[in-house]
Amino acid sequence: MTSASSKDQLHVSQADAGAVAALVSALADLTLVIDDGAVIKEVFHNLDAQSAAGISAWSGQPIEEVVRDSSHPTLRNVLRRVRRGHDTSRFGVSHILDGRRDLPVQYAALKIGDDGKIVLAGRDLRPITELQSRLLASQQSLERNHRDLRKAEAHYRLLFDTASDAIIIVDAMNGRIREANAHATEAFGLASGVGLGGRKFSALFSKPQKSTVQAMLAGVLASGTPMTMVLPGGTSAPLSLTAELFRTGDLKLVLVRISKPAGAAAAPEMALDALVRNATEAILVTDEVGRILWVNESFLALADVPLAAHAVGRSLGDFLRWNGVDQDVLLRTLRRNGRVHNLSGTVEGANGQAIGIDLSAIAMPDGVQPGYGFVMRPHPAEGRPADPANTDLMRAAENLVEMVGRVPMKDLVRGTTDVIEKMCIEAALNLTENNRTSAARALGLSRQSLYAKMARLGIEVPEDDDW
């Protein structure tokens, strides 16, 4: 008695190899009929047109010529086992397309008839390979991001714990402490190692002070501007609290710095510091090379910088531009003359927005660290154009008048000549879209003269501009 499965096997073994391959090709991506000499006799495929252009030429070629060398041992072993009547599991080979591209295929082999022909029914593995490559790249990217996050967290923790100030981070919505460094624990007279996380911030203060502290947190949350207050200490030393709001994701947090005031003798200095810190004009202080040392809250709002630490230590030129004058000229003028009035410029915010300003500056040679102070006021919303050349010339003339009698005439002429020459060259370059040949012609200069002046004045033009 013959079972149904054995009848099917008998029927397939006696069938024509080409007919079987045509039938199998309806389900497979690539089907090959190979004779007993391992030569491809017929090719059937359901591949895209780009791949099919190379595959159509396979007929009549030995199969090893269209397979990568690395796949030859696997292919020979499978063909040998199939001809001997052994069962074979699925196996993979890599075909060659156009002599360079790979076509990975997973085949199943079936011997047809007694003439040694074998049908290979294959599945295109490129979609799976591409998906695996994407998964691997995504996994590697996640691992890199995780390592970077751990490094950033370690750096943050080191800076937070070693900061000289007592710092507490409070959740602005519920008033509970999220983070506190060791100095904060010491400031409240608590034992070392006592954790403050999860406590109500107001609970650290005496009963009469709780309402004041809660009002400070509410005021910072409502206004978004920093607040400073001094709380009497009673039996202990008074505490100075400075709170400012910042955001991280959906959280609104308050950064509270805690210090002990210097005492009654320092009250005028504290009042002056509060006046400058909370002035409506944007104020910043730099060292002698233009590196920012201190900024007030108005400058942070003007430059859209969340914390003063994000501005301190950076170059003045990272935030400020002056119409027609570069930073070196401005600082050199300040060193020589002591001050500059009503200079027009722009503040470039962290969000990419440029805001026009009027700026005055003064040299500060006295003190622990010599430097410069800058006071800025933004132009009105309906104000003047951002780069008014006539206004700059009028202000330059006003500065000249103020410096007469204090600076030798030859120094005045030299300095103002550089400013005017730079303004003229920059205007000509803007007019000619940075074509230096046309700019030299417009200024009535030779190209060599223009190059020399640009090099002396520090004017740069992108290298890829054509002549």
Q: What DSSP line would sit under 228-243, residue for residue?
A: EEEE--TTS--EEEEE
pLDDT digits (tens, 9 = 90+) for 174-193: 889 888 888 887 777 776 65
The domain boundary residue, chosen from 257, 274, 291: 274
Evaluate if residue 13 carries a pLDDT over 60: no
CB atoms within 10 A of CB 168: 26
CATH number at residue 425: 1.10.10
Measure the CA–CA gap between 120 and 352, rounded to whole angstroms: 61
- Residues 41 and 111 occupy one common structural domain: yes
* Amino acid 172: pLDDT: 86
Q: Which two tokens stand for residue 360?
A: 């005055």
* Amino acid 400: pLDDT: 63
The CA–CA distances, whole Å, from 222 to 172, 202, 227 equal: 10, 18, 11
The domain boundary residue, chosen from 401, 416, 437: 401
Q: Which residue did the predictor score with more confidence, 18 or 159?
A: 159
pLDDT digits (tens, 9 = 90+) for 332-352: 878 888 888 777 888 887 777
- Proportion of the chain above pLDDT 70, given as a percent: 80
- Residues 27 and 56 occupy one common structural domain: yes
Q: At what angle do helices 409-431 and 436-443 cross, to 10 degrees?
A: 130
Q: What is the DSSP letter of 194?
A: -
Evaluate if residue 273 carries a pLDDT over 80: no
Measure the CA–CA gap between 213 and 219, rounded to whole angstroms: 10
Determine the average pLDDT of the residues in 279-285.
89
Helix (H) and strand (E) counts in the chain: 14, 16
* Amino acid 1: pLDDT: 35
* Amino acid 435: pLDDT: 83
- Residues 9 and 96 occupy one common structural domain: yes
Determine the average pLDDT of the residues in 231-240.
67
Total number of domains in the chain: 5
* Amino acid 42: pLDDT: 86
| Nearest-5° Cα angle at 12, 9 to 13 | 85
Instruction: Give the pTM.
Output: 0.34
* Residue 246 dihedral angles phi and psi, to the nearest 5°: -145, 160
The confidence band for 306, taking pLDDT boundaries of 50, 70 and 90, is confident
Contact (CB, 8 A) for 12 and 119: no
pLDDT digits (tens, 9 = 90+) for 209-226: 888 888 888 888 888 888
- Residues 358 and 258 occupy one common structural domain: no
Domain of 349? 279-401
- Residues 205 and 172 occupy one common structural domain: yes
Give the CA count within 13 Å in the CB-facing half-sphere of 187.
24
Measure the CA–CA gap between 227 and 257, rounded to whole angstroms: 11
The domain boundary residue, chosen from 343, 376, 401: 401
For residue 375, give every residue at least 6 positions away whose Cβ sits within 8 Å of its Cβ, in sequence order, or none.
Answer: 281, 282, 283, 359, 360, 361
Range in 131-145, 198-212, 422-436 with the lowest mean pLDDT: 422-436
Contact (CB, 8 A) for 346 and 321: yes
Evaluate if residue 61 carries a pLDDT over 70: yes
The CA–CA distances, whole Å, from 161 to 166, 176, 190, 451 equal: 9, 19, 16, 53
Measure the CA–CA gap between 390 and 386, rounded to whole angstroms: 12
For residue 30, give every residue at least 6 positions away whose Cβ sits within 8 Å of its Cβ, in sequence order, or none.
Answer: 43, 44, 45, 46, 47, 55, 105, 122, 123, 124
- Residues 93 and 191 occupy one common structural domain: no
Q: Highest-confidence range of 356-360, 382-386, 397-401, by mean pLDDT?
A: 356-360
- Type of residue at 267: A
pLDDT digits (tens, 9 = 90+) for 120-133: 888 888 888 888 88
b (16+ CB within 10 A) / e for 367-384: eeeebbbbbbebeeeeee
- Residues 200 and 101 occupy one common structural domain: no
Query: Residue 340's closest CA among 317, 374, 315?
Result: 374
The confidence band for 194, taking pLDDT boundaries of 50, 70 and 90, is low
* Residue 359 dihedral angles phi and psi, to the nearest 5°: -130, 140
For residue 272, give every residue at least 6 positions away whose Cβ sits within 8 Å of its Cβ, in sequence order, or none.
Answer: none
- Type of residue at 264: A
Range in 10-19, 93-102, 227-236, 361-370 with the lowest mean pLDDT: 10-19
Q: Which residue did the predictor score with more confidence, 63 or 234?
A: 63
Measure the CA–CA gap between 383 and 392, rounded to whole angstroms: 15
- Residues 98 and 81 occupy one common structural domain: yes
- Residues 363 and 412 occupy one common structural domain: no
CATH number at residue 89: 3.30.450.20
Range in 198-202, 207-211, 302-306, 390-394 with the lowest mean pLDDT: 390-394
* Amino acid 175: pLDDT: 87
- Residues 176 and 106 occupy one common structural domain: no
* Amino acid 375: pLDDT: 92
* Amino acid 11: pLDDT: 43
- Residues 133 and 120 occupy one common structural domain: no
Measure the CA–CA gap between 374 and 359, rounded to whole angstroms: 7
* Amino acid 374: pLDDT: 92
The SS3 assignment for 66 reads helix
* Amino acid 117: pLDDT: 85
The CA–CA distances, whole Å, from 256 to 92, 161, 239, 325, 363 equal: 64, 14, 12, 40, 33
Measure the CA–CA gap between 33 and 121, rounded to whole angstroms: 9
Q: How many residues does the chain have?
A: 467
- Residues 248 and 328 occupy one common structural domain: no
* Amino acid 2: pLDDT: 33
For residue 247, give every residue at least 6 positions away whose Cβ sits within 8 Å of its Cβ, in sequence order, or none.
Answer: 253, 306
